[in-house]
Each structure stands twice: as C-alpha cells, then as structure tokens.
Structure 1
Amino acid sequence: MKRSAALADLEARLGHRFADPGLLARALTHGSMSGPHREDNQRLEFLGDRVLGLVMAEALLARDPTAAEGQLAPRYNALVRKEACAEVARQFGIGDALKLGRSERLSGGRRKMALLGDAMEAVIAAVYTDAGFEAARDMILRLWGDRIDRVEEDARDPKTALQEWAQGRGLPPPSYVETGREGPDHQPVFTIEVRLTSGETADAKASSKRQAEQQAASALLSRLERGE
C-alpha cells in the first residue's frame, strides 16, 4: 500500500514507521467504513487490548516490586481502561486520521471516547503485527509517558470517589438512571444521569452503561470539587 501524507504524519507522531502501512490504515478504519474490500479495526482492537494489558502489567510490576495484587489492580485498570486509551489517542491526533462513515462523522465520531479508545488499541496491534512485541511496548511506554508514574492519582474509581464525597456530607449514595439509548442493537450508546439527593446532576454518553456511569460520576465530581 502506498503511504499517504496523513499516514506518514501519524507515523511520525507515533514514533513508528510501518513496513506495511496498510496495517495502520486498517487500524484507523471504523466499522462504519468497512466493506467487501476494506477491513475495519475490530480484530486489531481485540489484539491490541491484550498487548496493552501485558505491557502495563510488566511496567507496574517493574515500577513497584513490593506492591500487592490489590494495589496493582486499580493502577492497571486506570492505565488500560477505554478512557485512558482515548485520552492518549486525542493527544496524538488519532481522531483526525480515523476513517468514518458519514453518520459517524456527522455525529462527532472523531471525538467519541469509545471510537478513540478502540482505534488506539487497534494501532497498538498494528505495530505489534508489523514489528513485534518490543516495538509495540516501546511505543506504548512512550505514548503513555508519565501516566504510569502518576497512576495512583488516576486509579481512584470515579463512582467510589463520588460516593465517598456524598457520604462525607451525610448524603445517601448517588443514583444512576438510564435516560436514553440510541444506535443499533449491536452498537448502542447509553446516556446515564447521576443524581445526588442534594440536587446536583451530570450525564454522560458511552457504549456501555458502566462507562457512561463512570464518566457521569467523574463529570459531577469534577464540578463539585471546583465548587460549581
């Protein structure tokens, strides 16, 4: 496959020049653009998730040789969850390079957390397939950067933190209500609203109820901590 200027630019940001640029092109192809002669990134996403998990497990064990499993698990989850992958994807401009169908483009697909997280995992698998585990590991550690060193700050679960905030003020635990669902059955998008009995609310959309709850809790907690 001929390397386009856009792919070359993304390769430079990722720090990996592909022997087979077609792998990167596939990693950036959302299911809304797949067809008989164009593969999407779902299979690569499946592989990339596993590669990322192994790299982060290794990194956390090396970083803290005395940590117990109970300490490592929340740190690991904070580094590999879809939100973290999407954050890295945004930082390195992966959204701008995504190949999306018209409906996804019009609905802001380049900014959607689920699409960005999936694409980041697919890019990891593309590097792994192109050049092996060491190349994938080097890229992951470079892109995640100091997130690994400050992981304790990010490991706090937003739902737990919001519940602790409420209980510390004598309030009942927050409630989470599904207020909307859109998209096809095989790819739904849920809208979840989190509510406190004191009246504060926030909502979020995601491809799973759990992710939407986490994002809604995080949004409300941020607002409360800013005093809004």
Structure 2
Amino acid sequence: MSGESLDPAAREWLDRTGFAVGDEGLWRAALTHGSLGEAKDYERLEFLGDRVLGLAVADWLYARSEAPEGRLSQRLNALVSREMCAEIARGLGLAEHIRISKQASADGGRDSDNILGDVMESLLGAQFLENGFASARDLVHELWRPALESGAGQRKHPKSALQEWAAGNQRRPPQYEVTGRSGPDHAAQFTVRVSVHKVGEAEASAGSKSEAEREAARLFMEKYG
C-alpha cells in the first residue's frame, strides 16, 4: 500500500496515541470509510483487528483474574463490544481523522458507534500487521486500561439478567422484535421492543440492534424486575 501518504495531522495523532506507523498507505486505508469509494478501506483491517482485540483482552483477563470461564466471557463481551470500542475512540479523538465522504459525515457517520468501533479495530489490525501481536496487545492494554480496571462487564448483561428473571418467575422467554429502523446504513438507528407474556414490554433505540436489545432489556428489568 506504499505510495499513499497520510494526512500530517492524522500521522501526528497516530504517533501520539501509541500506534507505530510504518507504511502510511496501510494506515490511510485503516482510516478510510467505504463511502469514499477508494480501492482500499478499513473493512479487511477491521476484521483482523477485531480478533487482535479479543485475544489481547482475553489475555489480560486470564492473567489478572481467577474468575470462572462464564464470568471471563461476560467481561470479554463487554470490553470488546462495538459500544466500548466507540467510547474509547471518542475519548482518543479519533473521529476527526476518519476519512469519510461529506454526505456520510453529514449523516452523522463520524459519531456512529458502528463506524468509530470499526475504525478503532482496523487501527489495531494495522498495528498487528506492522508491529506484531505483542505490540498490539500492549497498546490494547494501555488504551483499554481504564475500562479494564473499572470492572466494566462484571455485572450481568441485561439480556442474560432478563432471561434468568423470566425463568425464575415461571414466565415464557423474553421476545425481542425490531419495531423501527431509520437513517442510512452507516448511521442507522434501531428500535427494539422486548416483551414477556402476561408481564409487559419495554422499548429502546440505539445505533445497533444488539445495543437496542440490551437497553430494552435493562428498561424492562427497571420497570418489572
């Protein structure tokens, strides 16, 4: 991918954040959204970075906890979620360095959990390719440290909590239904309703179906649990 240079401000941000940039074309692709229609965008690197992130966080949890597999998985899922990736990306100031079309940006793409999370993972993929897993792992541990040390994910996922509540109260399993979808694909909003037969229902909206389901389950438990 050599021959494609990075914007100087993006290069400075990457260096300051802890990414070790070599081939600028690779990192340019990692920051490029598909709306620009360029030959290289972040999708393949995001696929790789997702796996790098998962292994790096699993390594951290395994080394620092004697928790059983179920609790480790619960924390892992929270820490590598799209929402967590987007939260960390926002805190680092990633949004302004994403290469995205004017239309996609105007539609809210720079603040989309999906896009921010994907680009965050694509950058980890680039870090892995250029500098190896140990370097990528150490960077994840540094960037995710506040979340890792805060206990994020130690509480049961709202959907799991609702499932167990329903079973414990001899109710049918919760039913989730997408009741609305709005916005363009890169900044979609999903509305989900969760219901438990002969108990009630709750509805929530979010930037992904899974997050809307999670929030609807949380609201249901607040109301009926």
TM-score (normalised: structure 1): 0.78
Pick closer, same or farther for the CA change 1:165–1:213 going to 2, 3 Å: same
Question: d(CA) in 2 for partners of 1:77 and 1:92?
Answer: 21
What is the correspondence of 1:106-185 to structure 2 with a 5 Å cutoff? 106-151=106-151, 153-161=153-161, 176-182=176-182
- Check whether the contact 2:36–2:101 (CA below 8 A) recurs between aligned residues: yes
Q: Which amino acid aligns with 1:61?
A: Y
Q: Which residue of 2 aligns with 1:211?
A: 211
Q: Which residue of 2 aligns with 1:44?
A: 45
Percentage of pairs with the same residue: 40
Secondary structure in 1 matching 2:144: helix
Pick closer, same or farther for the CA change 1:182–1:11 going to 2, 3 Å: same
Question: CA offset at residue 15 of structure 1?
Answer: 1.3
- Check whether the contact 2:98–2:110 (CA below 8 A) recurs between aligned residues: yes
Structure 2, unpaired ranges of 5+: none
Query: What is the aligned-residue RMSD (CA, Å)?
Result: 3.3
- Of 17, 22, 25, 2:20 maps to 17
Question: CA offset at residue 204 of structure 1?
Answer: 2.1
Pick which of 15-24 and 130-139 moved more.
15-24
Question: d(CA) in 1 for partners of 2:49 and 2:32?
Answer: 15
Question: d(CA) in 2 for partners of 1:98 and 1:215?
Answer: 28
- Of 4, 11, 14, 1:8 maps to 11
Pick closer, same or farther for the CA change 1:4–1:174 going to 2, 3 Å: same
Q: Which residue of 1 aligns with 2:35?
A: 32
Pick closer, same or farther for the CA change 1:73–1:102 going to 2, 3 Å: same
Question: d(CA) in 1 for partners of 2:200 and 2:180?
Answer: 23
- Check whether the contact 1:13–1:92 (CA below 8 A) recurs between aligned residues: no
Pick closer, same or farther for the CA change 1:162–1:5 going to 2, 3 Å: farther
- Check whether the contact 2:108–2:187 (CA below 8 A) recurs between aligned residues: no
Question: d(CA) in 2 for partners of 1:31 and 1:155?
Answer: 36
Question: d(CA) in 2 for partners of 1:199 and 1:6?
Answer: 48
- Check whether the contact 1:204–1:216 (CA below 8 A) recurs between aligned residues: no
The superposition leaves residues 109-157 of structure 1 with CA deviations (integer Å, 9 ceiling, x where unpaired) of: 1111111111111000011112111221121111001211233555531
- Check whether the contact 1:85–1:121 (CA below 8 A) recurs between aligned residues: yes
Q: Which amino acid aligns with 1:194?
A: R
Question: d(CA) in 2 for partners of 1:143 and 1:18?
Answer: 17
Q: Which amino acid aligns with 1:16?
A: F
Q: Which amino acid aligns with 2:74?
A: P
Secondary structure in 2 matching 1:192: strand
What is the correspondence of 1:13-92 to structure 2 with a 5 Å cutoff? 13-35=16-38, 38-64=39-65, 66-92=66-92
How many pairs were matched up? 217
